[in-house]
Structure 1
Amino acid sequence: MITEIVTFDLPADMSRDDVLARYQATLPRWRANPELIRKTYLYDPDGKRGGGVYLWKTLAAAQAAHDAEWCRMAEDTYGSAPRFDYFEATLFVENESLQD
């Protein structure tokens, strides 16, 4: 499994409510992707950054979901190009089950 961390800078005038509304609009897309195991949305109000942590079945699945078209959409939506980091997911600890 692959953990992918995607981050992007947010416009200084984008409020938390604006960010969350944009995140909410993407929920159906990610729920429909059978290669995605889990996604956590990220928001850093002090650093004005957003992003997500994804757990994927494969690196190829991660890269296919975040292709050039998705990168253009993210830049149009959030105002900056996304950055990507990939890690092999080796061990898991899950203390509680989380709901949306």
Structure 2
Amino acid sequence: MESEQMGLAIQQFMQIAILAFQRTGGALISGVEQSSTWPEIEVSTIGLGPSRLANHEDLIVRFGDAQVGFPLSRTALRGLGEAMIALSTPKQKSN
């Protein structure tokens, strides 16, 4: 499968998963509060790019040659960035 086709397949799969979730009426659960119970895929690179949505940027994730963009509001990106900084900061030992 060509890399562009793989990106489109990932996009379609994600849209189907979101639609199925919306139809069940389930509530979102914060990933921070959950242990890692989801399947993981090794990511080649991650970055930001322009989005077609106003006040959004695309979080671009590459898997080998395939890539997919997730539009996130700038507010959501700020929160994600702050969480990443907090996770990467060494914790100090308390006396």
TM-score, structure 2 as length reference: 0.24
Q: 1 or 2, which has the higher strand percentage?
A: 1
For normalisation by structure 1, the TM-score amounts to 0.23
More helix by share: 2
Greater relative CO, 1 or 2 (CA 8 Å, sep 6+) = 1
Structure of greater Rg = 2
